Structure formats: structure tokens, C-alpha cells
Structure 1
Amino acid sequence: MTSKNASKDLTSSQPVQPTSRVRSRVTLAQIELMQQVARMHNITAAGREIGISGSLAARQIAALERALGVRLFQRTTRSIRLTEAGERVLEWASQTLEGFTALEDSMTTMTQTPRGMIRLAVNYYAAGTYLPRVLSEFCATYPEIKLSVITTDELIDLVTDTIDVAVHSGRIPDSSMVGIRVRSVHRVLCASPEYLRRKGTPKNLSDLNAHDCLVHSSNEPTNWFFRHGDNTVGITVRSRLEANNHNVLVEFARYGLGIARLGRNTVREDLKSGRLIQLLPDYACVYPSGELPNVWILYPNRKLLYRTRVLVDFLSEKLSALTEYPPGE
């Protein structure tokens, strides 16, 4: 195939269909690498993601461009983006990889031995506390499944970020996702003894207006809601410090910087030791709807690969069994 003919094929209205000569020179590894580069906009980072060096990744992309006879990426000193031809090839590449993954999964199901890579997104608290124990058991049970774990407190776009499964704590997820609710999360208002000596102890919700509050920057940063009996009440809080990580908010509270709303399990030992003091225990920390936050297992759609379905079922069973400590403990 000459460069001229290749360009003609790529600008037609039909999907890209490489000739037999090109097929013999294009590998699945190159196609996967191209998809990663298009997603990450960085050849070195994409190579690292699939386990090769940046220089080898650059050579593989160049080899793929030679095989197809077109330039796939427009490169500058600061960015890399798909060319028009690259966009057409990426569409074909994505379909090719999806087909191969489906075939691989079908073969795996026949042998009853799940294998392959799963990209798992988890929040910081889960990653630093209970999840390592759960995943250790999973990896021992399914040694041929490899996990790539991404930590974030944000509810990310599973499709755009090519995430297979997410463990998320917070609001009910977007309706476009498939979610399994594992359990509810009970939060408490708390502050350090040092802060309360300095600022006083709030006796009711209105007293919070005069206090420094430690807020999650993407989760109710200005208004907090509480349920008392059948009533839900919202108040505007004065943010002293904000962070996008609940573990950071715990440290802020421990060092006397203000009042925080934190998961009861997260601060259980702090409350037990007196390092933090629970405030206004008769008020449940809720969302504007009056609902408690929940722990969710999320995935992009109901058509799961065998290995992903194995992980979802395992997480659902193990996380549902985790203890939620009662208020009195």
C-alpha cells in the first residue's frame, strides 16, 4: 500500500479496513498503544501505562504510522493530538480491540479461569484502609487477573477514563452508570479538644455559623444538611479550609483547624481516644434530599467481561459484609 492510496482510503466514507499486507505489519500491541496515546495525549505516559519505555513507545507509534502510510498524531513541543486520519484509525482500532477482548473473554469463560487487566478506581479512604485487605484476598483467589488501581475522591467518567469498575462513596451515581449500593455511610460532626477550647462548643446548628468549617471542595463546600427526626435542615457554613481528599480533612481536624463532617468509621479511633470530639450527635449528616451517602460499586454498562463480573461480585460480597460501627462505639 502506498502513502497515496492509504490516504485515499482514510478519507472515504467507509470504515478503515487495512489490506492484508498492512495487517501483517500491524500488531494488537501497537493498536492498544495508539488508543492509550489518544487518551492520555502523551506517548511516554501511554507507554508506561502498558509497561514499555517512552522511547520504545515512540518507535512503535512510528512503525504503526509507516505500516498504515499516514500520520496518526500531530505533535508539537507541548501537545499531541490525533490527525483526521488518526481519528479514523482510532475508531477502527477501538472496534478491533473490543472484538479481541470479547473473543478473549469468551475463551476465558470456557476455561473458567478469569484473566486479564481490570482498571479499578477507588476513593482515598478505601485505598488506605479496608480495600488493600479485600484486594489481597481477591488477588490470591484469582492470580491471573491483574489490577490497575486509580485513587480519586471524584466521581469520574468511567467511559472516558476507560475505568472498568469504581468503588465510590457519596451521592447516588449518574443514571447512565450501573451501580450496586453496598451500604450507607454515617458521618459525624467533629473537632479537636484544642479547637473547642479556643472557639467554644456549638450547642445547636445555628452556632456553626460562627465556627471555622473544614469542607470537601467538591462535596457540599458551602451548605451542610442535617436530618433531625423527620425534618431536613440546611445551613450555610463558613469555610476555613477546603480539600478534595477526606483524609486531608481528618488531619486538619486533628490539628485543631476547625469542624469537619467525616465518616464515623474513619474517625472511630479518634473519637474513642478523645483526639476528636463528636458534636451535635442528634443531627444526622445527610444530603439535601435527606438521604445518607452510600458506598457504590459502579461500572459503565451491564455487559461485563467475565473477569470484571468476577471482581464486581467479589467486591459486592466483601464490602457489604464490612462492619458499620454503631453510634455508641
Structure 2
Amino acid sequence: MDKSLLEQMEDMAVFTMVVEQGSFSGAGRRLGLVKSAVSKRVDRLERGLGVKLLQRSTRALSMTEAGQALHARTRQSMGLLEEARSELAQLHQAPRGLLRVTASVAFGRLCVAPALPDFLAAYPEVRVQLALLDRMVDLAEEGYDLALRLTRTPPDAVVARALMPIRYVVCAAPAYLAGRTVAQPRDLAALNCLFYGYQAQTDDWAFTRGAERETVKVRGNVIVNSSEVVRDLVLAGVGVGLVARYAVEAELRDGRLVSVLPDWTAAGAFGPSAWAMWLPQPHLPPKIRAFVDFLAARLDVAQAREADAVQHRGLSALGISVDSAG
């Protein structure tokens, strides 16, 4: 915006205050300016507009026709400004307005989207725009309020909060494992191993079990940048897959897939946590805080249920009866 236009807008605000207070000195007291500074501002405005706005005398101050026209406009503008300030204040008092969120495709579909109905019911004045993108996003340039991503370390330029731990699982269809023995991670080298990726045709899969560490170089005939496609290929019996557990939890639960090397912990490509990330700002809008708090609580509950289910399956496999009540 042109500097002269900014000055003119400031001078109009001073002029409006003079009219409302009925004097230069009264306007000065309200604005924290000396009387001469107020007078100079009004003079500058009159010169810039090329009209006389005020008739001055030793005892009275009145508006000219041009002054009355300008004052009507400035009062309208000040009213709109006050409405805008009130709306902005409300945005910082309660969750409301449009919340633009981006998440990776599988995490967004399987972990974020299921939480939206309850969130929207709890915060009816918030509207959510959810963009599922498997790529890096520039929050500032693309205008997103929040990014939900699986990563080892969030960028330094953002504020980040861990939402949930990410556990990875090596899994396969029972039919694919028939006649095959997988007792140690090294046994995977003989299998068709599928994983999330872009270019490499080989990859190193790392495993831990207590103090044990083992890394195996695996090979597969398909590589795809979608954990859901990896899951579908594994379900079709194409090979063994390494995916985030949330992407195959339902299939593991109903037996269509089985966990391979369940005693070992697999390291995934995207790190051990899902994060909520947003740009630093003096006052975090309530809509962002409410969504992050809600999602973190929801995912924490989901993780607890998953852990209970895993424990239940493990005890059942040992022939131990488990009371599911409570």
C-alpha cells in the first residue's frame, strides 16, 4: 500500500475523532497527541483531498458539506473495522471458522477422518478442510493451518506436538507364508518384500528385540508410494509387507493378514511418531488448539484399545482366558 494512502487513512481517523469530540484538544486527549499535532493532521488531510473539511472559529467547530460527506464515510468504515475487530476477538475466544488441515493419505483416511464426526459435533462453529497429500507442504505458501505428518524430526520452523506413536509391522497373507519359514529377520531376504518407497529397488529393514539388533537387505518386485496399496498387494498374496500398523489393523484382527516376526520390532520409513505441526504465532487460534487436543486424545484412546487387543490375542494364543468386561 502506498505510504501517502496510509497517511491519509490515519489522518481520516484523526479527523473523525475531532468531529466526535467536538474539538482539537479533545481529540488530542483521546489519541495521545498534542493539539497542534491534531491540527496539522487535519490540515494535511484537507490539502491531500483538496477540500475544506472544517470551519474553525475561536468558539465553534463545524463541518463543511465536504466534511459531512467524509465523516459519514469514515464512520461507516470505523463501524466495519469495529465489527472486524469483534469477529477476530471471537475467533480467539472460542473454536470457530475454517480450519485447513493437511495429512498424508493413509494416515488421514484411517486415523484423522474417523475422528471428524465427533469433533464437528463438539465444535459446530468449526469447518474443516482436509487435504490428503503424500508430499511436503509449505504451510505459509499453501495457507494450511495445520499439517499432520509421520516424521522422525519435525522441521525447526514449525511448532510441533506428538500425536501418537507409530508402530510398524511386517505382515503377510497366510497363504503366502504356507511352506515358508520366517524365524529370524534374515529369513526375509528370501521373500518378496514390499514397502513404501519411490525409486530404490532394494531396502534395508531394521529390527530390534531387547538388546538384539538386526538389519536385513530385502528385495521386492513392487515398490509404491502408498501404504494402502502395499496392504492390498500383501492381501493378494504378492509378498510380505512392511507398513504402519494402523494401515493393516483390521486385517490383522480378522485374520486376513498375520504378523511376521511378532517378537521383533520393525523400524519404519517415517519414524516413530505422528506429529501435528503449525507455524509459530503469538496467539494460537482456538480452532487449532481444539483440533490438536481432540485428535491427540482420540488417537491415544485408539492406541490403548489396540494395545489391549494385542495383549488379548497374545494371551488367547497361550490358552489363557481373558475377561473382556470393563
Same fold, judged at TM 0.5 (above): yes
Residue of structure 2 in register with 1:227 after alignment: 208
- Is structure 2 residue 196 aligned with structure 1 residue 207? no
Residue of structure 2 in register with 1:94 after alignment: none
Residue of structure 2 in register with 1:280 after alignment: 261
- The 5 Å alignment of 1:179-198 reads 179-197=160-178
Equivalent residue for 1:145, pick from 105, 116, 126: 126
Report the AA paired with residue 189 of structure 2.
N
| 2:206 and 2:213 in contact (8 A); partners too | yes
Residue of structure 1 in register with 2:296 after alignment: 316
- Is structure 2 residue 274 aligned with structure 1 residue 295? yes
Stretch deviating more after TM superposition (158-167 or 178-187):
158-167
| 1:155 and 1:168 in contact (8 A); partners too | no
> CA-to-partner distance for each residue in 1:182-222, whole Å, 9 max, x for gaps?
22122111111232237x23222222122111111159972
Q: CA 1:280–1:107 in 2, change beyond 3 Å: closer, same or farther?
A: same
> CA-to-partner distance for each residue in 1:124-159, whole Å, 9 max, x for gaps?
233333433321122222222221111124443323
- Per the alignment, in what secondary structure is the counterpart of residue 98 of structure 2? strand
**CA apart distance, 1:260:** 0.7
**CA apart distance, 1:255:** 0.4
Following the alignment from structure 2 to structure 1, what is the Cα–Cα distance between the partners of residues 261 and 223? Answer: 21
Report the AA paired with residue 207 of structure 1.
D
| 2:94 and 2:286 in contact (8 A); partners too | no
- The 5 Å alignment of 1:5-44 reads 16=2, 19=5
Following the alignment from structure 2 to structure 1, what is the Cα–Cα distance between the partners of residues 87 and 226? Answer: 36
Residue of structure 2 in register with 1:124 after alignment: 105
Report the AA paired with residue 296 of structure 2.
S
**CA apart distance, 1:225:** 1.3
Following the alignment from structure 1 to structure 2, what is the Cα–Cα distance between the partners of residues 105 and 300? Answer: 22
Following the alignment from structure 2 to structure 1, what is the Cα–Cα distance between the partners of residues 2 and 234? Answer: 57
Residue of structure 2 in register with 1:239 after alignment: 220
| 1:192 and 1:255 in contact (8 A); partners too | yes
Equivalent residue for 1:177, pick from 158, 166, 176: 158
**CA apart distance, 1:287:** 5.3
- Per the alignment, in what secondary structure is the counterpart of residue 139 of structure 1? helix
**CA apart distance, 1:174:** 2.0
Equivalent residue for 2:229, pick from 242, 248, 264: 248
**CA apart distance, 1:105:** 6.6
Structure in which a larger fraction of residues adopt helix: 2
Report the AA paired with residue 216 of structure 1.
Y
Task: State the percentage of identical aligned residues.
Answer: 25
- Is structure 2 residue 81 aligned with structure 1 residue 108? no
- Per the alignment, in what secondary structure is the counterpart of residue 257 of structure 1? coil
> CA-to-partner distance for each residue in 1:60-83, whole Å, 9 max, x for gaps?
xxxxxxxxxxxxxxxxxxxxxxxx
Greater C-alpha radius of gyration:
2
Following the alignment from structure 1 to structure 2, what is the Cα–Cα distance between the partners of residues 219 and 165? Answer: 29
| 1:105 and 1:305 in contact (8 A); partners too | no
- The 5 Å alignment of 1:37-52 reads none
Following the alignment from structure 1 to structure 2, what is the Cα–Cα distance between the partners of residues 171 and 218? Answer: 18
Structure 1-normalised TM-score? 0.61
**CA apart distance, 1:253:** 0.6
Identify unmatched segments of 5+ residues in structure 1: 1-14, 24-98
**CA apart distance, 1:278:** 1.3
Following the alignment from structure 2 to structure 1, what is the Cα–Cα distance between the partners of residues 165 and 271? Answer: 6
